Amino acid sequence: MPTPTGAEPRWAAAQVAERVLDQGQASDVALEPVCQTLISSQDRALTRRLLHGLMRDWPMVSALLKVLLQTPLKRRDRRVYFILSIGLSELRGAREPDHAAVNAAVEATRLANAKHMTKLVNALLRRYLRERESLEHSATQTPSTQWGYPQWLIEAIEADWPNDWQAILAEGNASPPLILRVNSNHWSCDQALAALAEQGLNARPIEGLADAVQLEQRAAIRDIPQFEAGGWSVQDASAQWAADWLQLEPGLRVLDACAGPGGKAAHALERADIELHAVESDADRLAQVGDGLARLRLSAKLIHADVSKPEGWWDGALFDRVLLDAPCSATGVIRRHPDIRWLRQATDLQHLVATQRLLLDAVWPLLKPGGILVYVTCSVLAAENHKQVASFLERHSDGSIVEPPQHMPAAPGRAVSPGWQVLPGEGGWDGFYFAAVERL
Q: What's the pLDDT tens digit per position in 13-42? A: 999 999 999 999 999 999 999 989 998 889
In the predicted model, is pLDDT for residue 364 greater than 60?
A: yes
Can you tell me the mean pLDDT for 366-391? 98
Q: Report residue 3 CA to chain centroid gap.
A: 32
Polymer length in residues for the chain: 440
In the predicted model, is pLDDT for residue 171 greater than 60?
A: yes
Of the candidates 329, 330, 269, which has an alpha carbon nearest to the alpha carbon of residue 302? 269
Q: How far apart are CA 160 and CA 69, in angstroms?
A: 38
Three-state DSSP class for residue 199: coil
Q: How far apart are CA 294 and CA 272, in angstroms?
A: 17
Provide the mean pLDDT of the chain. 95
Q: Report residue 372 CA to chain centroid gap.
A: 26
CB atoms within 10 A of CB 246: 26
Q: How far apart are CA 245 and CA 374, in angstroms?
A: 7
CB atoms within 10 A of CB 317: 10
Q: In the prediction, which pLDDT does 223 show?
A: 87
In the predicted model, is pLDDT for residue 220 greater than 90?
A: no
pTM of the model: 0.95
Of the candidates 267, 249, 260, which has an alpha carbon nearest to the alpha carbon of residue 180? 267
Q: In the prediction, which pLDDT does 70 show?
A: 84
- Give residues with Cβ within 8 angstroms of 275, minimum separation 6: 251, 252, 253, 254, 301
Confidence of residue 1 (pLDDT cuts 50, 70, 90): very low
In the predicted model, is pLDDT for residue 160 greater than 50?
A: yes
**Catalytic residue numbers, as ranges:** 378
